[in-house]
Amino acid sequence: MYLPKHFLAEEGPTRALLERMGAADLVTVTESGPLATFLPLLYDPAPVEAGAAAPAPTPAGAPAPVSAPVPAGAPTPAGALSPAGSTAPGGAPTPGGAPAAAPASVAEPAPIQGSLVGHVARANPQWSTPAIGEAMVIVHGPDAYVSPSWYPSKAEHGRVVPTWNYTTIHVYGRLVVHDDPTWVEALVRRLTARHEASRPRPWSVDDAPEPYVAGQVRAIVGVEVVITRVEAKAKWSQNRPAADIAGVEQGLVDAGRLDALDALRVARAP
């Protein structure tokens, strides 16, 4: 990721976004080309041994996850690079907007460890196709278009252009496959408990007939990305003068984009 220091996301907000994310993009590179899947994920802060279920904290009211090893012979696409041997992807141009005022040096990744766990359809080739090098998960935070008309400097000199503000996290790691129904069912229960918890009448896995649940579980495969490094970017007009940033804040308020406004204020917090 192209990551100027002034757009480096702090560890606290980065960890918070990982903990509350719903779904993200899993990307692997294979001999036949890149593969990508958008899937629900959970962040397990504690490091997890390959082949073991992720013993993460369970949300209130959720069944405890069950640890289970991967059965012998189960395919485990891997090809991990150690953190010391990893290299960041080549730089890419910043989406839209004026050049950054601060030097564009590459920042250090946030010291976040653990794993991301989820599942894919058994028919999805991504789990069974060996990955070359690290897998990557792209986590999306808030994003928003920024109009040059929001900048007071537009009236002063007119040297302004549109840009796009956003928060994103790239999580890199070793892909581990869990082709084990016990592990998968425990994960499904955790995902369900998390996303049903706020509903007036939460649905439970146990509300469905047991044979039906067993069949559904057999149709999916667990995946885990054991984290080796994290790059987190919060681009929220930090390279603009204070008056222009205030104009962006007001523009987001007028547009009803309170989620983006909160992200901007978090990025600017000392």
pLDDT of residue 46: 66
Q: Where are the domains of the chain?
A: 5-143+157-240
One pLDDT digit (tens) per residue for the chain, 270 residues: 999 999 999 999 999 999 999 999 999 999 999 999 999 999 999 654 444 443 343 343 333 333 333 333 334 333 333 333 333 333 344 344 444 444 444 555 447 999 999 999 999 999 999 999 999 999 999 999 999 999 999 999 999 999 999 999 999 999 999 999 999 999 999 999 999 999 999 999 999 999 999 999 999 999 999 999 999 999 999 999 999 999 999 999 999 999 999 999 999 987
Buried b (16+ CB within 10 A) or exposed e, 51-90: bebbebeeeeebeebeebebeeeeebbbebbeeeeeeeee
CA 156 to chain centre: 39
The bridge status of strand 23-30 relative to strand 135-146 is: antiparallel
Tell me how long the chain is: 270
Give the number of other CB atoms < 10 A from CB of residue 200. 4
What 3-state class would DSSP assign to 216?
A: helix
Assigned CATH for 5-143+157-240: 2.30.110.10
pLDDT of residue 108: 54
For Cα atoms 137, 139, 230, give the angle at the middle one, nearest 5 degrees.
Answer: 60
